Structure 1
Amino acid sequence: MNRPTRALPFDPTRVGREALPALPALLRGMPKAELHIHIEGSLEPELIFALAGRNGVTLPYASVDALRAAYAFTDLQSFLDIYYAGASVLLEEADFFDMAMAYFRRAAADRVVHAELFFDPQTHTERGVPVETVIRGLARARATAQQELGVSSELILCFLRHLSEDAAFQTLEQALPYREHFIGVGLDSSERGHPPEKFARVFARCRELGLRLVAHAGEEGPPAYVWSALDVLKVERIDHGVRSLEDPALVARLAAERMPLTVCPLSNVKLRVFDTMAQHSLAAMLDAGLCATVNSDDPAYFGGYLNQNFIETFEALPALGAAQAYRLARNSFEASFASAAQKQRWCDALDAHFAGV
């Protein structure tokens, strides 16, 4: 069984499955960090249509309901097709600001105190939107969210893995004048057929620049992609990583190194990584001693923001109770790129939330 590195600040037997009505309130109210959120994936249909109207963009859907009805994905690629279509309405700095602020308001309501946002510059620069427009809009939202909502955040620039490494280098160079606004780089988009080693050189360059490194691996791709992300890209976090359980040696390594895994339960079910939430491996990951966290991925498309992911996952998996909720929240702080002092403040707040349990 996975055990916290320190004593629990509560008696886990007092809020277990036998007291299930208390568990959702505990999950909703506990402070938490979100480390796997694609900001473009938080673009709700209502905002897509509002921005389309503001920018004179014609959408291939007659209404908000028609667009939402199109969210019937069969795999990652079918999702990405509609995801990129939705992003076509993002043209001005104000659009990126409005999109991010909509997410931050939902995050604050879910008791997210810190978020590390992925953004995909290439999705926009390929449409002629300058990277400066993207970053400045998101940076302004970060500052506003901190001031008005008390939500701290960082930005992580992601390279689209279905494009070339040369294109990734080009994106990096375009973004470097705004280096003070993003803390690290990641790797997302279609995993199949695009192994991490395809981006070995650009990640080495980012490491030289002092950027933090993360990468999607082991979602649709095999455990071998997780090994490559660790050994070739030398990442500090694995995004998704649920297929790691297929490789016992990999599980042992991830547990020994306390390598964070940013798991996205609703996304995994929506994209058919698991057929049902009851089949999800999150409980098994915690039992194996893995540093798993819960995240929403692309919440506008996958049916829920962070608290919805917690609630539905805990309802479906009987092995998850108050002790696992505490561990997942604490993992999210420990796995963040925040300072040690800030992590401790959040962990203290988490302890206080659970102290009365």
Structure 2
Amino acid sequence: MHTLPTIAPERLPDLLAASPKAELHIHIEGSLEPEMIFALARRNGVALPYDDVEALRRAYAFTDLQSFLDIYYAGASVLLHEQDFYDLALAYLARGATDNVVRAEIFFDPQTHTARGVSMETVVRGLHRACVDARARFGISAALIMSFLRHLSEEDAFATLEQAMPLLDHIIGVGLDSSELGHPPEKFARVFARCRQLGLHVVAHAGEEGPPAYIWGALDVLHAERIDHGVQAVHDAALVRRLAAERIPLTVCPLSNQKLCVFPELAQHNLPQLLAAGLVATVNSDDPAYFGGYINDNFRQTFAALPALTAQHAWQLARNSFEASFAAEAERQAWQQRLEACFEQHAQRG
């Protein structure tokens, strides 16, 4: 166990906010705040089924993943032009910088947009331009991961990959998201094999609402390098041992898990259990505009709800996020040094 300077308990909330961290599970469409939805609707002449921002916020009473996705896809309908995607991503990255996010690996769902007649080029070029500008303006490193929608067919995923081929220099990996139940990873075995041949990193949502078997499938069939969510792994002891031994990261999203009723209360979340088992767990915000919190909100509220979590866990979670990222080793080491310095500073203030 890494020896840390002593941090006074009352300093922990400030430490959580100040610590450098990587965010590895953020859906850019899920950072679309109601205010921006209405602003883009006005700019693009899109009619919305809600009278105002507050009426839309009141609709965010989700009972499961599907009830969220219904509103999520409706909100994305205002994204039509390259500038819309640029504005969306830059707003998230500016917010991330204030939360001391030093690296963001951003999911985007092209099928949500191409199905509406928005071109792949429009989506990717807008998002990529924001990533480039955010590094210059905020000092934040950002990269794009293209996610396939698992409720659609593998043929549709192949078509999406074909559309993305001229733009792969702007994309570091592929993922798998949307409705988990009834759509096991095996459904997408061939398209993920092709993505690996192209040199793309591979991640996959598994074990959020789906069973541990979906995590096994993501590992053995898709050859996922990270598991997004993965909280159901605790129900399979052999799987937990494998995840720990192979250091397969889990991109855990506590407020999302609570909002979608994976855990009825945040105090029941199994993040301490994941860490105690030696898993490379990380904290992320998932769809922060819909789930009531960006990454620092997730850290603060989770640590407040789970008294077993300490400064040691805060350090481990941040360090895990760097280890789990697809950034260059030199960058990861630099962020680790910043993390050590941050803890030293807070210990001196304590």
TM-score range, shorter chain: over 0.9
1:113 matched to 2:110? The reply is: no
Structural mapping, 1:241-252, within 5 Å: 241-252=230-241
Q: CA offsets, 1:139-185, max 9 Å, x none?
A: 11001100001011110000000000000000000001001100000
Among 5, 19, 27, the residue aligned to 1:30: 19
1:179 matched to 2:168? The reply is: yes
Q: CA offsets, 1:261-318, max 9 Å, x none?
A: 0000000000000000000000110000000000000000000000000000000111
Question: What SS class does the counterpart of residue 21 from structure 1 fall into?
Answer: helix
1:233 matched to 2:222? The reply is: yes
1:145 matched to 2:134? The reply is: yes
Among 279, 289, 294, the residue aligned to 2:278: 289
Q: Normalization by structure 2: what TM-score?
A: 0.98
Aligned residues: 346
Q: CA offsets, 1:208-229, max 9 Å, x none?
A: 0000000000000000000000
Q: Which residue of 2 aligns with 1:61?
A: 50
Equivalent-residue separation in structure 2 for 1:144 and 1:48 (angstroms): 22
- The amino acid across from 1:201 in the alignment is R
Equivalent-residue separation in structure 2 for 1:27 and 1:318 (angstroms): 14
- The amino acid across from 2:262 in the alignment is V
Q: CA offsets, 1:3-38, max 9 Å, x none?
A: 4xxx33x23xx32xxx43210000000000000000
Q: Which residue of 2 aligns with 1:21?
A: 10
Among 40, 43, 51, the residue aligned to 1:51: 40
Question: What SS class does the counterpart of residue 66 from structure 2 fall into?
Answer: helix
Equivalent-residue separation in structure 1 for 2:148 and 2:48 (angstroms): 26
Among 296, 299, 306, the residue aligned to 1:317: 306
Question: What SS class does the counterpart of residue 101 from structure 1 fall into?
Answer: helix
Question: What SS class does the counterpart of residue 349 from structure 1 fall into?
Answer: helix
1:98 matched to 2:95? The reply is: no
1:333 matched to 2:327? The reply is: no
Question: What SS class does the counterpart of residue 48 from structure 2 fall into?
Answer: coil
- The amino acid across from 1:97 in the alignment is Y
Q: CA offsets, 1:232-289, max 9 Å, x none?
A: 0001000000000000000000000111000000000000000000000001100000
Q: CA offsets, 1:74-116, max 9 Å, x none?
A: 0000000000000000000000000001101110000001100
- The amino acid across from 1:213 in the alignment is V
Equivalent-residue separation in structure 2 for 1:40 and 1:314 (angstroms): 26
User: What is the RMSD of the two structures over their aligned residues, measured on CA atoms?
Assistant: 0.7
Equivalent-residue separation in structure 1 for 2:236 and 2:132 (angstroms): 42
1:262 matched to 2:251? The reply is: yes
Residue 354 of structure 1: how far off its partner (Å):
1.0
Equivalent-residue separation in structure 1 for 2:27 and 2:194 (angstroms): 23
- The amino acid across from 1:33 in the alignment is A
- The amino acid across from 2:219 in the alignment is L
Q: Which residue of 1 aligns with 2:65?
A: 76
Question: What SS class does the counterpart of residue 43 from structure 2 fall into?
Answer: helix
Q: Which residue of 1 aligns with 2:269?
A: 280
Unmatched segments (≥5 aa) in structure 2: none
Question: What SS class does the counterpart of residue 136 from structure 2 fall into?
Answer: helix
Q: Normalization by structure 1: what TM-score?
A: 0.96
Equivalent-residue separation in structure 1 for 2:305 and 2:11 (angstroms): 16
- The amino acid across from 1:311 in the alignment is R
* Divergent runs of 4+, >6 A: none
- The amino acid across from 2:92 in the alignment is Y
Unmatched segments (≥5 aa) in structure 1: none
